[in-house]
């Protein structure tokens, strides 16, 4: 194999890694040290409006999340607390610090 082909292969491999890094960076960030099965009582963030279902982020992972239909909808970006896990769906409530979040329009 000519040296230029090997060099081109290495350069393309590095370019691919550089292009993919922004897309997968979040998955490599350290979480809060919990294993996925230990997410109960974890604090996260509503990734989108939960009315009553949507997605929430706990640690570095994005989970399907649902809140009780009797609860008020949880706005995007609000802090949430996991009450229990049912398969790959987390049941969440709005975190007590959400009142400060709603007054200021952003998390503290």
Half-sphere exposure of 62 (CA within 13 A, CB side): 8
Residue 85's CB is within 10 A of a number of other CB atoms, namely 18
Residue 89 parent element (H or E): strand 89-94
Would you state the CATH architecture of domain 36-104?
Beta Barrel (2.40)
pTM listed for this prediction:
0.59
Q: Which of helix, strand or coil describes residue 87?
A: coil
Residue 107 pLDDT > 60: no
Residue 34 pLDDT > 60: no
Predicted local confidence at residue 99, as pLDDT? 57
pLDDT, tens digit, 9 for 90 and up, residues 41-80: 889 999 999 988 999 999 888 999 998 887 888 999 999 9
For the chain, the domains span 1-30, 36-104
pLDDT, tens digit, 9 for 90 and up, residues 82-106: 999 988 899 999 887 755 555 555 5
């Amino acid at each position: 194999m000519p040296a230029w082909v090997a060099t081109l292969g290495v350069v393309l491999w590095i370019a691919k890694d550089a292009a993919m890094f922004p897309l997968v960076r979040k998955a490599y960030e350290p979480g809060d040290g919990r294993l996925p099965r230990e997410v109960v009582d974890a604090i996260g963030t509503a990734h989108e409006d939960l009315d009553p279902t949507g997605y929430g982020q706990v640690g570095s992972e994005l989970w399907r999340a649902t809140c009780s239909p009797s609860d008020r909808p949880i706005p995007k970006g609000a802090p949430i607390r996991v009450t229990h896990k049912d398969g790959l769906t987390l049941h969440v409530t709005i975190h007590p610090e959400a009142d400060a979040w709603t007054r200021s329009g952003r998390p503290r």
